[in-house]
């Protein structure tokens, strides 16, 4: 496995591998089993696989959150090697944003401005779109892999990739969950044992919505009440609990096609997000 720090080195490392397909897994490091499922999906599908580690400052709305973001590069590289990565691209900030950098890729509309966009500020998805565009252009992969847990990030990425015509297939892997159902996240380690137990109300709320939808409940107001009951039973008040079109993020009043059910909630001081899609095509 080769570790490279510059875009020029990345391109040089990938150049001899372009006779086959290239899979790319962009990460912010602090890897866990959820990331490993993405690495395995890429390893299984592509001839050469590259992972990036870059904690992107422009997508953090709070400097404290950025400063507190876990950096675990040695462990991340060990996992990448164990999962069969060929190349790891781990640039520093000056490589990605050299002096004079002045370009932003933005997606407008509900897809970028509601839910996470509203909670984390307008700049969050601008930061994501800009850095992912730059990473995709640096690696020029055939496929790039993202987790369904970040559903809105996926929708934003699909949008600008389609709009700009970036020559890459976006592959979305199912949310990876612990045995108890909690969606895997770097933030889960911050939960106390008691908080961890309470946090399970989040996947249970989503399951309750799924079950009710399967029983024929179609109005999202009624489905929402089922989820709220589960969350309230655990003393959790959501930041949002939304039923939206998975592509446009327009609110859905009735389940007539695929509807993304997305939750963000703080358990103690830890902010967690999770989602499922119901009414699938």
Q: Which of 32, 35, 124, 219 is catalytic?
A: 35
- Does residue 249 bind a second copy (CB under 8 A)? no
Q: How many residues bind a second copy (CB under 8 A)?
A: 28
- Specify the residue, 35 or 159, whose C-beta has the smaller distance to a second copy: 159
118 touches a second copy (CB under 8 A): no
What is the SS3 assignment for 259?
Answer: strand
The only residue of 39, 53, 85, 112 in contact with a second copy, by rule CB under 8 A: 112
- Give the nearer residue to a second copy in terms of CB position, either 161 or 182: 161
Q: How far is the CB of 152 from a second copy (least distance, A)?
A: 13
Cα separation, 32 vs 26, whole angstroms: 14
Cα–Cα distance measured from residue 188 to residue 33, given in angstroms and rounded to the nearest whole number? 12
Q: Mask 158-177, x = binds a second copy (CB under 8 A)?
A: -xx--xxxxx----------
Is 35 a known active-site residue? yes
Site track for a second copy across 56-95, x = CB under 8 A? ----------------------------------------
Q: CB 257 → a second copy: shortest distance, Å?
A: 16
Taking the complex as a whole, how short is the minimal distance between the CB of residue 195 and a second copy, in angstroms? Answer: 37
Q: How far apart are CA 266 and CA 207, in angstroms?
A: 19
Of 169 and 207, which has the nearer Cβ to a second copy?
Answer: 169
Name the strands in the sheet holding 238-244, side by side, starting at the edge strand that comes first in the sequence.
Answer: 238-244, 259-267, 270-278
Does residue 100 touch a second copy according to CB under 8 A?
yes
Long-range pairs, 2-6, Cβ under 8 A, ≥24: 2/86, 2/87, 2/88, 3/77, 3/87, 3/88, 3/90, 4/87, 4/88, 4/89, 4/90, 5/89, 5/90, 5/91, 5/92, 5/95, 6/91, 6/95
Does the footprint of a second copy cover residue 101 (CB under 8 A)?
yes
The closest of 247, 268, 4, 26 to 141, measured between CA atoms, is 26
Q: Which stretch binds a second copy (CB under 8 A): 36-44, 49-57, 106-114, 260-268?
A: 106-114
In this chain, which of 78, 81, 84, 106 binds a second copy, going by CB under 8 A? Answer: 106
Handedness of CA 180, 118, 174, 139 (dihedral sign): negative
**CA 220 – CA 232 distance, rounded (Å):** 18
* Among residues 107, 151, 212, 255, the one that binds a second copy under rule CB under 8 A: 107
Q: Does 143 bind a second copy (CB under 8 A)?
A: no
User: Checking phi first, is residue 54 left (phi over 0); if not, alpha (psi -120 to 50) or beta?
Assistant: beta
Spatial contact of 273 and 184, defined as CB atoms under 8 Å apart: no
List of residues contacting a second copy (CB under 8 A) = 7, 100-109, 111-112, 129-130, 133-134, 137-138, 140, 159-160, 163-167, 248
């Amino acid at each position: 496995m080769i570790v490279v720090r510059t875009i020029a080195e990345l391109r040089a490392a990938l150049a001899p591998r372009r006779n086959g397909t290239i899979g790319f897994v962009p990460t912010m490091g602090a890897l866990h089993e959820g990331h490993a499922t993405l690495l395995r999906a890429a390893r299984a599908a592509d001839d050469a696989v590259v992972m990036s580690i870059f904690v992107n400052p422009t997508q953090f709305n709070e400097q404290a959150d950025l400063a507190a973001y876990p950096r675990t590069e040695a462990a991340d590289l060990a996992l990448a090697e164990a999962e069969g990565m060929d190349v790891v691209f781990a640039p520093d900030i000056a490589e990605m944003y050299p002096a004079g950098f002045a370009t932003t890729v933005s997606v407008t509309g509900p897809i970028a401005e509601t839910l996470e966009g509203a909670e984390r500020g307008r700049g969050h998805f601008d930061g994501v779109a800009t850095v992912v565009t730059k990473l995709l252009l640096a690696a020029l992969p055939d496929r790039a892999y993202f987790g369904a847990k970040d559903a809105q990030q996926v929708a934003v990425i699909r949008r600008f990739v389609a709009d700009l015509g970036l020559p890459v297939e976006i592959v979305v892997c199912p949310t990876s969950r612990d045995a108890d159902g909690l969606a895997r996240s770097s933030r889960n380690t911050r939960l106390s044992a008691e908080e961890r137990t309470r946090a399970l109300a989040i996947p249970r709320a989503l399951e309750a919505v799924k079950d009710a939808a399967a029983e024929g409940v179609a109005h999202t107001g009624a489905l929402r009440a089922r989820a709220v009951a589960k969350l309230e039973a655990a003393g959790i008040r959501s930041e949002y609990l939304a039923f939206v079109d998975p592509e446009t993020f327009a609110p859905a009043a009735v389940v007539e096609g695929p509807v993304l059910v997305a939750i963000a909630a703080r358990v103690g001081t830890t902010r967690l997000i999770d989602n499922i899609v119901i009414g699938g095509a």
